[in-house]
Amino acid sequence: MKNTERMLVDCLKRYGASRGIDVQLLSHDWIAVLSKGARRHLVFGYDLGLNGAAAAKIANDKGATFDVLRAAGLPAVEHRVFLHPRFLDFVPVDGNWTGLLAAFEGFGRDAVLKDNEGTGGMEVFRVRNRTEMEQRALGLFQIARSLAISPFLPIRDETRFVMIDGECVLAYAKQRAEITGDGLHSVAQLLATRKMAAAYDNPQVPLTAVPAAGERVPLQWRHNLGLGAEARLLAHAAPELQETLALARKAMAALTLRFASIDIVTVGSTPMVLEANAGVMLEVASRPEFGGRDLADRIYHDVLDRIFSGQ
């Protein structure tokens, strides 16, 4: 998606037109300068600037987010961070490899490696032996200043909450694409009939397995929308959502965030914070079933109103 095609760009233009605020777009529309009289405000990427600078940096760092949430006593998916070797002054004396191996063994030789500051499910890998881990770590260090390692967890559900000052303004589930077994055909055969073989990446269920009739098999082990998962709008006032919503509120408070999205995963019956995002993408909210661009405008414009009113 080109920057000029981002929904936020048009949203900022509509906001400026409705509030008498000049909107100047810079750096291929990745930076916006909003000005009214002597007042100037900067928007960078998807970060509208309501959060404090330190809070935003922590939220966009998976390891830092985990450390802060753990210190606050909140359940969160562990992320251990390892810096690129070029940052020698900040790397333990024994280097990265000893620590990576210890983490890998501690996680039962089933772990997830990712860019510590990555987004959108990009550069996220499941590793189950030392060779895979070494290869993936080397690859990540070619593009990232730090990587994070986490235990692989059998995540049942993943829900994203978009929050403004403790209030949930949007909640949706990330529902993985799946096939349904018939008790007769293997996963490979079921995929072939639907021409979905290329999308399958679920090591939990091998291609040769024959799912029972009615058994649902996710195509991916990840819940990212960019990998085929579908967003399903949730009523955030629903009783069954209150436990996870309460955790999202506590995470926002612990991270001192005012505007962010919080991803909560359920492992077994336990909700845990997966990550936070201070840069909030609302492309999904522009879908007709979510309310179209009006919902995204209401959320973004509310945030900008708080900024310009000094709230």
pLDDT in tens, the chain (311 residues): 555 578 999 999 999 999 999 999 999 999 999 999 999 999 999 999 999 999 999 999 999 999 999 999 999 999 999 999 888 787 777 788 899 999 999 999 999 999 999 876 678 899 999 999 999 999 999 999 999 999 999 888 899 999 999 999 999 998 877 788 888 888 888 888 877 666 777 777 888 898 888 888 877 767 666 666 788 889 888 888 999 999 999 999 999 999 999 999 999 899 999 999 999 999 887 777 777 789 999 999 999 999 998 76
Radius of gyration of the chain measured on its C-alpha atoms: 21
Handedness of CA 23, 295, 239, 262 (dihedral sign): negative
Predicted pLDDT of residue 198: 61
In the chain, what's the furthest Cα-to-Cα distance?
Answer: 71
0.85 cut: is pTM over it?
Answer: yes
Predicted pLDDT of residue 226: 66
Q: How many residues does the chain have?
A: 311
Predicted pLDDT of residue 121: 64
Is the distance from CB of 44 to CB of 34 less than 8 angstroms?
no
Predicted pLDDT of residue 162: 97
**Cβ contacts of residue 217 below 8 Å, gap of 6+?**
178, 179, 180, 181, 187, 190, 202, 205, 209, 211
* 243, two tokens: 């436990």
Domains of the chain are: 3-45+281-309 (no CATH), 50-76+154-176+220-280 (3.30.470.20), 78-152 (3.30.1490.20), 179-219 (no CATH)
Predicted pLDDT of residue 123: 84
Predicted pLDDT of residue 287: 77
